[in-house]
Chains A and B, each alone.
Chain A
Amino acid sequence: MFAYYFQLGLRSLRRNPILTALMVMAIGFGVGASMITYSVFRATSNNPIPQKSGQLYAVQIANWKTDDLDKGEPPSALTYTDAMAFMQAHKAKRQTALYPIAPSVIPADASRLPIEENSYAWYGDAFAMFDIPFLYGGAWTQAQDDAHAAVVVIGRKLNDKLFNGANSVGKTIDLDGHDYRITGVIDEWNPQPLFFDPVNTGGFGDPIGLFIPFTRAVDLQMSTAGNNNCNDTPGPGWSNWIHSECIWIEYWAELPTTADADAYKRWLTGYAAEQQRAGRFKWAPNVRLRNVTDWLDFNKVVPPESKISLLVSLGFLLICLVNTIGLLLAKFMRRAPEIGVRRALGASRREIYVQFLVEAGTVGLTGGVLGLLLTGVGVLGVGWVFDEQIARLATLDASLVLLTLIAAVLATLLAAFYPTWRAAQVQPAWQLKSN
C-alpha cells in the first residue's frame, strides 16, 4: 500500500507542477539555509575534547579591582606571579601555565629561510592533560621543566619539513639562535575550537606545531605573542613586567572528580584570601574554575554571526513551513471530490491520513534533495561570510546529508498534519451530492 501511495503522491506532484514546485522550493530553501548555517554552528560550538571536557578547568582569579573587571568576572588571563604560585602549589593531578610565543625555526641548511611555526610555551604535564597523541618519543619530564631545559616537542608537519618525516627524537633544532633537543613528535592534533587558549586564538586557527618548556621561555625573556593586558604601566624591563599585575598567561588544571574540583576551588579561594591579607588584593576573593565547555562559552567562541544567521535561517524555515501548510491545504482540498469518492467506496479515515501523509512525505523528500544541493553549494560559500579558519570547518558530511533529508521530510510531515486532518474530515455525501 505504501508503494502505491508513494506512486500516487508522485503522480499528484505532477498534476499541479507550479504548486508542487513552490512547495519543493520552499522546503528546499528553508532546509538548505538552516543546514548551511547549522554546519557553521556545529563546527564552532564543537566540544573539542569530549572525553575530558569535564575534568579540565581553566583557572581565573581577580587580581584587579572590581572597576577594572568586565561585569565583575575575573579576567581571562593570569599574572606571572599567580601562575607561578599555582604551579608551585601543585594542587591538581596535572597542571600547566601556558602562553603563545613566536619563535622562528632556523633550518640547519643555510640556504633555507627561517620558518615561522605556531608555538606555545607550557609545562610537560600539558601533553597528557590534553590527550595529545605522539608519533615519536613523548613529553619532556617534570625534572626538565624544573631544570628549565632546552627541549622541544614538534608537530608532525614541522618534522616532515625538517627531517622528512623520520624519527627525530634526540636531534636538535635551532629556535631563534638557541639549540633545543627534540623529546617528541606529536601526531595530528588539531582540536577546534582551540579550547586551551581561545583568548589569544579567538578559538580557531592553524594547528600548533611547536612546544617548549614555559620555564625556558621565561628564562629567554620571550614575550607573549598573544594579548598582554595591563591596568597600570609596568615600568621598564622584563623583570618589572613579569612581576607586574599585567595578565598574559592561561592556566589549566586537571581535576578528575567533582570533589577534586571543589577542593581546588577552596584552595584557590584561600590563596586569594591570603593575597588579600598580604595587602596585594584590596578586595574579597573572586575566583573561577571553568571546565572546557563553560570556558569556551565564557570566551564567546561561537561567533555572533553564526548564532544570528542560524536564528534567521530557522525563522526562514518556519516561514517556509507556514507557507507549505497553506499550499498543502490548497492542494489537498482541491481534491475533496476525489477524497469523497474514495471514502464512499469504503476507505477509512486512516487510509486517507496515510495516503496524504505519504504524499506530503514525497514533497518533503524532493524538497530535501533540493535542500541538499543548496547546502552543498552553500557550504562551499561559507568562506564568504565567515573567517577562513572557521569556514574550512564547515563541511557537508554523511551526518549532515542525513540530517538535511530527515529535517526536510519531518518538517513537511509536520506541516502536512493540519491539511491532512482537513482532508480526512471531508464528508463523502457532500462531495458526491454536489457533483
Chain B
Amino acid sequence: MQIKPILAALKRHKAGTVLIALQIALTLAIVCNALIIIRQRTEHLSRPTGMIETDLLTVANRWVGVDEKATPSLGKTDLEALRGMPGVVDATYANSYPLRGGGWSTSVNITPEKKKEMAHTTLYFSDDHALATMGLKLVGGRNFRPDEIDWVDPKAFDTTPVVIVSKALADKLYPDGSALGKVLYHSGATKPSTIIGIVERLQVPWTGTWAGNFAENAILIPRLLTGNFGSYLVRTQPGQLERLTKAAPALLFKTNRMRVIPDERGVRTFAQVREQAYKSDRGMAVLMGVVCAVLLAITAAGIVGLTSFWVGQRRKQIGVRRALGATRHDILSYFLTENLLIGAGGVIVGAVLAIGMNLWLVSHFEMERLSLLYVAAGVVALLLLGQGAVLAPAMKASRVPPVEATRSV
C-alpha cells in the first residue's frame, strides 16, 4: 500500500482529517483518565473487612439525659439483654466498626518516642465479645479475658496493658513476624501495650483514599468508652437477621426508653453498611464507565459519518481507480490505511493530552498517576475502534463499480 498518495489526498481534506484526529485525541485523553478513576474507585470495593459480614447487625445508640458515669451500667444491661435474645449468637458494644465512616485514628510506634510515626492505625474500643461478634479470625495469641475489660472516659484514655492488633499492623511494626508478646505505643500513650493477639484482618472505619495507606491497620482496645454514644454489633443465627433488625431495637427500647436510635442509619445490617460505604465509589465508577462507552460510540459514529461523506465525494475517483485496474481490496485497504494514518496522528496527540490531563488532576485531586499501560491500551482500543468504524463506509467504497468513472465527467 502506498502511503504517499493517501497523504496527498488527505491534504485536500484538511478540515475533516483534523476533526477526526482531534476527536480521537480528546477521546483517548478522557477515556484514559476515566479508566484511572474507575480503577481507583473499584479497587477497594471488594476489599474484605476481616469480619464475617453475613448475619451481622449494627445499632447506633445514644442515651438521653444520663451522666457519663452511668453509661457502664446501662451498657452492661443492654448487652446482657441483647445476648439473651433468642436468635442472637453474641453481641458487643464499640466506638466504631469497619466501613462506618467515623472513628478514632492515631499514630503508633514500638518505642515511646513521640516524634517518629511508624504506622497510622485505628483504635476500636470494645470488649472480649468483639472477636466472636465481628467474626474476626485470630491467627495468633489469645482473645481478651473478661477481667481485662473496663470502661474508660474517652477524654481520659491513656493506654491499656494488652491489645489485639491486625496482622497488617503487626507485620508493619515487627516485619520479622515476631509481634506477638511484643509492645507498642500509640500516640499519647505513656506506657507500653503488649500485643496478646493477632487477627488475620481488620479494616479501618474509613474507605477514603486518605485512609488508603493504613486501611488494614487496627488495634482492638479492651476498653468500652463511656459517653452517651456508641454502636451495638449483634451476630445472629442464620436466618434470624431480618427478624432481629426489628426485634433488637425494640428490645433496647423496652430495656430503657431514654435513648435515641437515629431513624437514618440507626439500625443497619452489615450488607447495608457496605453498600452505603461504597455507594459513591460504585456510582462514580458506573458514571465514568457510561461516559467512556458513550464517548467511544460517538467517536465511532463521527468517523462513520465523515468517512461516508468522503466516500460519497470520491465516487468518481474511486471509479477511475477501479477502471484503471485497482481491485476492490485495494480500495478497501486505501480507506483503512487512511483511517489508520489519521488515527495514529490522533493517538499521538491524545497520549500527550491524556498524560497532561492526568498530571493536572493528580495535582488538584486525590488522583493516581496514569500508568503507561492504560495509555497503551487506550491507543490500541481507539485505533481498533477507528478501523471498525471505517469498515462499513470502506466496504461501500469498494463496491463502487468502475463504470462510475464514465458518468457525469
B interface list, Cβ under 8 A from A: 15-16, 19-20, 22-23, 26-27, 29-30, 33-34, 37, 62, 64-66, 153, 155-156, 158, 188, 227-229, 253, 257-260, 262, 279-280, 283-284, 286-288, 291, 294-295, 298-299, 301-302, 305-306, 308-309, 312-313, 361, 364-367, 408
Decide: A385 near B280, CB < 8 A? Known: A19-B305, A237-B155, A319-B26: yes
CA distance A115 to B280 in the complex (A): 29
Residue of A nearest to B63 (CB): A104
- Complex contact A323–B23 (CB within 8 A): yes
Residues of A within 8 A of B19 (CB): 322, 325-326, 329
Kindly provide the distance from the CB of A359 to the nearest chain B CB, expressed in whole angstroms. 16
Residues of B within 8 A of A232 (CB): 188
- Complex contact B30–A106 (CB within 8 A): no
- Complex contact B306–A113 (CB within 8 A): no
CA distance A115 to B301 in the complex (A): 58
Residues of B within 8 A of A308 (CB): 37, 361, 365, 367
Top 8 A-B pairs ranked by shortest CB distance? Answer: A236-B156, A330-B309, A385-B283, A177-B65, A233-B188, A323-B302, A104-B64, A176-B65
Q: Is A252 an interface residue (CB 8 A)?
A: no
CA distance A280 to B331 in the complex (A): 84
CA distance A237 to B258 in the complex (A): 25
Q: Which of B65, B155, B308, B408 contacts A104 (CB 8 A)?
A: B65
Give the number of chain A interface residues (Cβ < 8 Å). 56
**Could you mark each residue 109-120 of chain A with 1 if its beta carbon is under 8 Å from any beta carbon of chain B, else 0?**
000011110000
- Complex contact B23–A319 (CB within 8 A): yes
CA distance A116 to B60 in the complex (A): 13
Residue of A nearest to B26 (CB): A319
Question: What are 15 A-B interface contacts by the 8 Å CB criterion?
Answer: A26-B301, A106-B64, A114-B258, A116-B62, A176-B66, A233-B188, A322-B302, A326-B306, A330-B305, A330-B309, A331-B309, A384-B279, A385-B280, A385-B284, A387-B280
- Complex contact A305–B309 (CB within 8 A): no
- Complex contact B188–A434 (CB within 8 A): no
Residues of B within 8 A of A235 (CB): 156
Interface members, chain A 310-351 (any B CB < 8 Å): 312-313, 315-316, 318-320, 322-323, 325-327, 329-331, 333-334
Residues of A within 8 A of B305 (CB): 19, 22, 326-327, 330
Q: Is A298 an interface residue (CB 8 A)?
A: no
Q: Is A52 an interface residue (CB 8 A)?
A: no
Kindly provide the distance from the CB of B203 to the nearest chain A CB, expressed in whole angstroms. 21
Residues of A within 8 A of B259 (CB): 114
- Complex contact A315–B253 (CB within 8 A): no
Residue of B nearest to A221 (CB): B68
Kindly provide the distance from the CB of B262 to the nearest chain A CB, expressed in whole angstroms. 6
- Complex contact B306–A315 (CB within 8 A): no
- Complex contact B295–A319 (CB within 8 A): yes
CA distance A308 to B209 in the complex (A): 15
Q: Which of A319, A331, A422 contacts B30 (CB 8 A)?
A: A319
Kindly provide the distance from the CB of A218 to the nearest chain B CB, expressed in whole angstroms. 14
- Complex contact B288–A330 (CB within 8 A): no
Residues of A within 8 A of B284 (CB): 305, 309, 385
- Complex contact B299–A319 (CB within 8 A): yes
Residue of B nearest to A318 (CB): B26
Q: Is A234 an interface residue (CB 8 A)?
A: yes
CA distance A230 to B188 in the complex (A): 10
Q: Which of A102, A113, A305 contacts B229 (CB 8 A)?
A: A102
Residues of B within 8 A of A140 (CB): none
- Complex contact A102–B62 (CB within 8 A): yes
Residue of B nearest to A378 (CB): B287
Decide: A322 near B158, CB < 8 A? Known: A223-B227, A308-B37: no
- Complex contact A116–B262 (CB within 8 A): yes
Residues of B within 8 A of A327 (CB): 302, 305-306
Decide: A22 near B62, CB < 8 A? Known: A223-B227, A313-B291: no
CA distance A104 to B65 in the complex (A): 8
Kindly provide the distance from the CB of A231 to the nearest chain B CB, expressed in whole angstroms. 9
Residues of B within 8 A of A333 (CB): 309, 313
Q: Is A123 an interface residue (CB 8 A)?
A: no
Decide: A106 near B312, CB < 8 A? Known: A320-B298, A325-B19, A326-B306: no
Residues of B within 8 A of A325 (CB): 19
**18 more CB-based (< 8 A) A-B contacts, given A22-B302, A116-B262, A315-B30:** A33-B291, A33-B294, A104-B62, A106-B64, A113-B257, A177-B64, A312-B37, A316-B291, A319-B299, A323-B23, A325-B19, A326-B19, A326-B20, A327-B302, A384-B279, A384-B287, A385-B280, A385-B284
- Complex contact A330–B308 (CB within 8 A): yes
Decide: A106 near B65, CB < 8 A? Known: A29-B294, A323-B23, A418-B15: yes
Interface members, chain A 376-428 (any B CB < 8 Å): 384-387, 418, 422
CA distance A289 to B10 in the complex (A): 60
CA distance A104 to B20 in the complex (A): 63
CA distance A236 to B188 in the complex (A): 13
Residues of A within 8 A of B287 (CB): 309, 384-385
Q: Is A25 an interface residue (CB 8 A)?
A: yes
CA distance A318 to B15 in the complex (A): 17
Q: Is A307 an interface residue (CB 8 A)?
A: yes
Residues of B within 8 A of A279 (CB): none
Q: Is A241 an interface residue (CB 8 A)?
A: yes
Q: Which of B301, B366, B367 contacts A22 (CB 8 A)?
A: B301
Residue of B nearest to A117 (CB): B260
Residues of A within 8 A of B229 (CB): 102
CA distance A282 to B138 in the complex (A): 47
Q: Is A50 an interface residue (CB 8 A)?
A: no
CA distance A89 to B306 in the complex (A): 72
Kindly provide the distance from the CB of A87 to the nearest chain B CB, expressed in whole angstroms. 23
Residues of A within 8 A of B286 (CB): 384-385
Kindly provide the distance from the CB of B326 to the nearest chain A CB, expressed in whole angstroms. 23
Residues of B within 8 A of A17 (CB): none
Residues of A within 8 A of B29 (CB): 315
Q: Which of A230, A234, A384, A422 contacts B15 (CB 8 A)?
A: A422
- Complex contact B258–A106 (CB within 8 A): yes
